Structure 1
Amino acid sequence: MDNVKEDVKFKSVLNEASKKKAREELNELNESDRAIAVQTFRKWILDQDYIRTPTDFGFLLRYLRVRKFSQLGARQTLENYWTSKTSTPEWFKDVDPSDPGIQVILRSGYVMSPKLYDSNGRRLVFDRPGRLDADTVKRAGGIATVFKTICMFVDWVNTDENIQVNGIQVFADLSNVTLSSVTTLWTAENGKRLMHFYQNSAPSRIKQVHFYSEPVFFDAVFALMKPLIKQKMRDRLFLHGNSMVNVYKEIEKCILPDEYLPDDYNGPSAGPESKIIDDMIAEMTQPAFSDYIKKLSSGEYGIDFDKKKTFDGAPSESFRKLNVD
């Protein structure tokens, strides 16, 4: 019962709007139901000899939230998460935000997220592959470091409780992307792995994906990726061409960096990119996240595929609630 005693110490930092959405959209009805759901989930994990995972309240809660408190859904996502991390160690093993190679990718501005919320409580995540030229990738230590940084970044964003409830918008700025850079970075195998991680493994609620400044070969590349994208996600894709005016119709200016705003705009913003990146790296390298991601990637956790063979395939359903004394 030590875990249950530790659960009492968990204090949610959801704001009132997020609490309301959690009740209405995620079936997170109240603190008591939430605690029972986490304890039910944990009991199932401890009964599975092939999964090694953290079982603290906050970690398990994000998997329940992303699957709207379905026990079966949370189990599937957690198992997918550790299957991805175990089967692709070059992306997920020994992750340190202070690693020089990871720092090179972060400093490039390839992935970035201002710690601000729009009127729907969502955060904006930037994906800018045009920032990665061959020299940057080489200085970082190779393609594996790029994907290690991406996946670490996803874990970082998902530690934000309000984002676990409200989700994110992705702004894919494809400016300066060349066909050679795409084919080098996004091989068929890399694309398949990353799409699986985004859609099936990461506890992320991706609400919209916005493409800006799509290159002339975008349609051809997208046609190759399309079979990997679930219909629900396809319905959330927006193509804006080179029109920031169209972007402003979907993404509120107050969460955009200064560099993406009109010259005559005087309202609130996310500030300059350089500060956003500095703040992001500062938070990632603080012990709260740095120690967490190092432990998560230490090899202590994962899937034992040999032991998994003795189990009956996919996670099975059980009662949503478990009465715990």
Structure 2
Amino acid sequence: MGERYECNLDPAVLKKAIAELNEPQDNDERLAAIDKLRERFQEEQQDLELLRTDDMFFLRFLRAKKYNHEKAYNMLVNYHIQRRDFREVFDKVDNPELLSDVLTHGACVPIRQKASDGSTVVIGRPGIGQPDSAKMTDFLAMIILTTEALLTEDEAVQVHGLTVIADYSFFNMNLLKQFTPTFGKKMGGVLGDAMPSRLKSMNVVNEYKIFTIIYNIMKPFSKPKMRKRLELHGNNFTNLHKKVEASGLPEFLAGTGPGLDVMGWKEKILSSTGQGEDTAL
């Protein structure tokens, strides 16, 4: 298990965690919640191999569910079930070099600019650079890898959450054919019930009519809270810029900020993700 967790959050971030996530201010109480979650999983889930045993691993699930033990436990179990059963995605998560082409094209990249609520901004572009060969399983693996890397890189991301901008400019019939109800259910199971992150806002741009089909597939597998956080912008970025300042967004989102650091993010993913207990989710 290693050294026990000691909170090093910035005072302002810790204050937010206490107010919004029910984070205990006393570290002994925090450790007790971690131990309870760890011990229950080990006692009740004999058929699932626990991925990690360190405190930070369990803390992510507690924060994602505002320290509700039952909800955090269910998410922890669901995560391990997904890792076991959805191997066509998690084989790539465990071996990110298999996603080298997707990384090179910048299918999922975070930016420096924070959203107005302090959340970290991630830009996804399914299908970019691969009109005939893009795979939805690759894109989902990239979402997972990016989320895991951000949660590891900065603990404050666990508190502030994520703002996602999904650009559907490159989404085509090749990808749409792969987006079956079966895949939609699996994707919803991973992103909605297994990933220990806080999705603060989902913003879809350049979606046109094709997104209606995707939305109707995903709707039965999406929770009402998630649907409320979804906003469709088309090619009008006015409301998007209220959430994320244009000065921090790239030109293709009508911003005046720098372009995406695609190669920098590729290097970070390939060098630091999935290599040891401290970096895997």
TM-score (norm 2): 0.88
Pair 111,70 (structure 1): closer, same or farther in 2 beyond 3 Å: same
Q: Which residue of 1 aligns with 2:141?
A: 148
Cα separation, 2, equivalents of 1:84 and 1:117:
30
1:261-300 correspondence runs (5 A): 261-262=254-255, 265=256, 269=257, 271-273=258-260, 276-287=261-272, 289-292=273-276
1:128-167 correspondence runs (5 A): 128-131=125-128, 133-137=130-134, 144-159=137-152, 160-167=154-161
Q: Is the 8 A contact 2:136 2:175 kept in 1?
A: no
1:141-220 correspondence runs (5 A): 144-159=137-152, 160-178=154-172, 180-220=173-213
* Structure 2 unpaired stretches of 5+: none
1:35-184 correspondence runs (5 A): 35-48=31-44, 49-53=46-50, 54-93=52-91, 95-97=94-96, 99=97, 101-131=98-128, 133-137=130-134, 144-159=137-152, 160-178=154-172, 180-184=173-177
Q: What root-mean-square deviation, in Å, do the aligned CA atoms of Structure 1 and Structure 2 show? A: 2.5
Cα separation, 1, equivalents of 2:54 and 2:215:
39
Identity of aligned residues (%): 27
Pair 295,156 (structure 1): closer, same or farther in 2 beyond 3 Å: closer
C-alpha displacement of 1:123? 0.5
**C-alpha offsets along residues 195-242 of structure 1, whole Å, 9 cap, x if unaligned?**
111000000110111111122233233223222211111111111121
Q: Is the 8 A contact 1:84 1:201 kept in 2?
A: yes
Q: Is the 8 A contact 1:152 1:293 kept in 2?
A: no
Q: Is the 8 A contact 2:161 2:198 kept in 1?
A: yes
* Structure 1 unpaired stretches of 5+: 298-325
Counterpart code for 1:272: G
Q: Which residue of 1 aligns with 2:13?
A: 18
Cα separation, 2, equivalents of 1:290 and 1:296:
5
Q: How many residues align?
A: 276
Q: Is the 8 A contact 2:107 2:128 kept in 1?
A: yes
TM-score (norm 1): 0.77
C-alpha displacement of 1:192? 1.3
Q: Which residue of 2 aligns with 1:6?
A: 3
C-alpha displacement of 1:29? 2.2
Cα separation, 2, equivalents of 1:249 and 1:196:
30
C-alpha displacement of 1:14? 2.4
SS in 2 for 1:285: helix
SS in 2 for 1:125: strand
Pair 105,212 (structure 1): closer, same or farther in 2 beyond 3 Å: same
Q: Is the 8 A contact 1:105 1:136 kept in 2?
A: no
